[in-house]
Amino acid sequence: MANEFRNMIKVFVFVIEGIVIKTRKATMKMNVTKRYDEQLVDVYFHWNKMYMFSRKEHFLESDLDEFKV
């Protein structure tokens, strides 16, 4: 089950990319929609990176720099 989840999170970023553009309302400007879409992908990418990093068994002091926002 955990392995399936890890495989899903690796490809989910490609699933969400463009979803805001596809579901936008006609009143939304396209440049704003694209920015929201990019921000959504960026948030997911960084969450995914943090999740995978947090699965490590051992951390170094220098590894804490990876978690800085």
End-to-end CA distance of the chain: 30
Q: Is the pLDDT assigned to residue 67 strictly greater than 90?
A: no
Q: Is the pLDDT assigned to residue 69 strictly greater than 60?
A: no
pTM for the predicted model, two decimal places: 0.71
* pLDDT tens for each residue of 11-54: 888 889 999 999 998 898 999 999 999 999 999 988 888 887 88
Q: Is the pLDDT assigned to residue 3 strictly greater than 70?
A: yes
Confidence grade of residue 5 (pLDDT, cut at 50, 70, 90): confident
Rounded alpha-carbon distances, angstroms, from residue 25 to 19, 40, 50:
12, 17, 32
Name residues whose C-beta falls within 8 Å of residue 24's C-beta, 6 or more positions apart in sequence.
30, 33
Query: Sign of the CA dihedral 26, 27, 31, 35?
Result: negative
